[in-house]
Amino acid sequence: MRDDDTKRILDTCRGRAFVDRRDEAIIRLLYNTGARLSEVANLHVDDVSLADTDTVRHHGKGAKDRRVRLGPKTARAMSRYLRTRAQHKGTLLSELWLADRGRRALGANGIKLMLKRRGQRAGVANVHAHRWRHNFAHEWKRAGGDTGDLMLLLSWTSDDMPRHYGASAAAERAQESQSRVGIGERV
């Protein structure tokens, strides 16, 4: 899931309606942090800290919690959603994501369906949360990010995971490195 596809999906969230603000915040959070669907779906309001740190506490597999930083656009989308959420019928619920109607939380399945709908509106096929997780790992490695830091951010304990997630884009990164190094071009 690259920037141009994500932009097309985010363009479907333009507006001030509750669902637009919520959906933009969810999509930006998935893209910006590489979080698992379950980690995003299970967030509570008190997991978000925008006052001073612009972070979110994810509850990962194996009961491993970790705090991740939000980029400025993601923090702004979260802030807009929280302000809109405060006017919602379900504002007293502890779960962060609320369903459009009624006093109910939006669960993982609801997020899956929302991503599918947004993808269809944007003309982007096969939209699901895990594609942003793969993209996060790819972009991290492409930017020269440290593998150990990536493992901490994505809550991985096995060294196999960075190789697995990066394999789909390894050839692209290798070609970029080859071009940058320029072997044979100095003669």
| pLDDT < 50: residue spans in the chain | none
| DSSP character string of 123-164 | T-SS--HHHHHHHHHHHHHHTT--HHHHHHHTT---THHHHH
CA geometry: angle at 48 spanning 46 and 52, to 5°?
115
d(CA 164, CA 156): 11
pLDDT tens sequence across 77-102: 999 999 999 999 999 999 999 999 87
pLDDT given at position 148: 77
The pair of structure tokens assigned to 66 is: 């970790």
The whole-model pTM stands at: 0.86
pLDDT given at position 115: 96
pLDDT given at position 164: 66
d(CA 168, CA 127): 17
